[in-house]
Structure 1
């Protein structure tokens, strides 16, 4: 599809700069916000209505937050091709709603490294759910808007204002390409760190 309506979005970010303002604008367009942990708290503190990911999955965050978004109710909603009736029928069959936007930036692994944390501590700063959601939404850019960094908030809002709350395919494709580059860089940094440190 060319123009995508944003009805539901997941926001789960490490860099929270500009997020409250961005989310407030999204709410003005009628977007339902879904979030996790510290991001959810910040949005609630800003007076916004936010649904917890655990409300969507029907399952609590476990293992100290290691597992929270890795669930079919999240990834089915992200990976469904909205132009494919079979995908939409599968969602309906399992009571899964589509997710139209994924706004995620990753745990700051570089910070953990720069602080000289020991290997086990640094490994806890390796983001798993974040890259998984980013890759899923970037792969499915025909049906989902991926937002990998706060620098894109103004461009997205401008596109939505110009297109009655919808986002163009051209913008979605551009952000998907940037997302894959960003996740690749993140993985390369982790690979180098692990290769350079003894177990």
Structure 2
């Protein structure tokens, strides 16, 4: 299955411009949000805003932007399931084949001296883990990349084959679930400290 559409929304922007250029050069459409979209546009990379896909603006200080059926339907759709395909047609949902997401820097935030609980809470990512987990669950059809160190590898694969093998998508899915597990464990441990419990 050829990669035609990618969603790129990263906190760690290491290598994201080079990735965006490579995807664009291969004719892959990019959807993005916030700071990532700004960085890509500044580099002259054509990008579609998530709000142009969903029909809703980013709201509540960025807390709500990707939590929408036109995003999650595009990620979670089983592409050879007639009911899913019909739902996509009925609701104007376009499949997303590659998701590149890494999460708000919670661990880096709580490592700062004097960080407050509200500051820590605002750096708990919600939409990011949802997209990561949805993509990893639907790894038969979607490749999920959470580690910037993988960018060169995925670019090379796409340039050569235009798509990923089932085995490679499964490998990426395992890494993605590990990524969110470590993230949630850090949050749970931090909150445990706030209420005087031993670390989880």
Instruction: Using structure 1 for the length normalisation, give the TM-score.
Output: 0.95
2:142 is the counterpart of 1:139 = no
Matching residue within 101, 107, 112 for 2:109: 112
Alignment of 1:16-27 (within 5 A): 16-27=13-24
Deviation at 1:29, TM superposition (A): 1.2
Which residue of the partner structure matches residue 7 of structure 1? 4
Q: How many aligned positions are there?
A: 195
Tell me, yes or no, if the aligned pair for 1:14 and 1:106 is still in contact at 8 Å.
Answer: yes
**Cα shift readout 1:32-86 (whole Å, capped 9, x = no counterpart):** 1110010000000110111100000000111100000000010000000112121
Matching residue within 145, 148, 163 for 2:146: 148
2:33 is the counterpart of 1:36 = yes
Deviation at 1:162, TM superposition (A): 2.1
Q: Please list every run of at least 4 consecutive aligned residues from structure 1 whose deviation after the TM superposition is greater than 3 angstroms.
A: none
Which residue of the partner structure matches residue 127 of structure 1? 125
Which residue of the partner structure matches residue 46 of structure 2? 49
Which residue of the partner structure matches residue 68 of structure 1? 65
Which residue of the partner structure matches residue 95 of structure 2? 98
Matching residue within 164, 169, 175 for 1:167: 164
Tell me, yes or no, if the aligned pair for 1:159 and 1:168 is still in contact at 8 Å.
Answer: no
Q: Any unmatched runs of 5+ in structure 2? A: none
Corresponding residue SS for 2:186:
helix
Cα RMSD between the aligned structures? Answer: 1.1
Corresponding residue SS for 1:63:
coil
2:84 is the counterpart of 1:87 = yes
- Mapped to 1, the partners of 2:159 and 2:43 lie a distance apart of 22
Deviation at 1:161, TM superposition (A): 2.1
- Mapped to 2, the partners of 1:53 and 1:157 lie a distance apart of 23
Deviation at 1:158, TM superposition (A): 1.7
Instruction: Using structure 2 for the length normalisation, give the TM-score.
Output: 0.95
- Mapped to 2, the partners of 1:179 and 1:132 lie a distance apart of 11
Deviation at 1:111, TM superposition (A): 1.3
Deviation at 1:159, TM superposition (A): 1.3
The answer to which structure, 1 or 2, has the higher relative contact order (CA under 8 A, 6+ apart) is 1
Deviation at 1:198, TM superposition (A): 3.8
- Mapped to 2, the partners of 1:84 and 1:147 lie a distance apart of 24
Tell me, yes or no, if the aligned pair for 1:138 and 1:175 is still in contact at 8 Å.
Answer: yes
**Cα shift readout 1:130-160 (whole Å, capped 9, x = no counterpart):** 0000000000000111011111111111211
- Mapped to 2, the partners of 1:17 and 1:35 lie a distance apart of 15
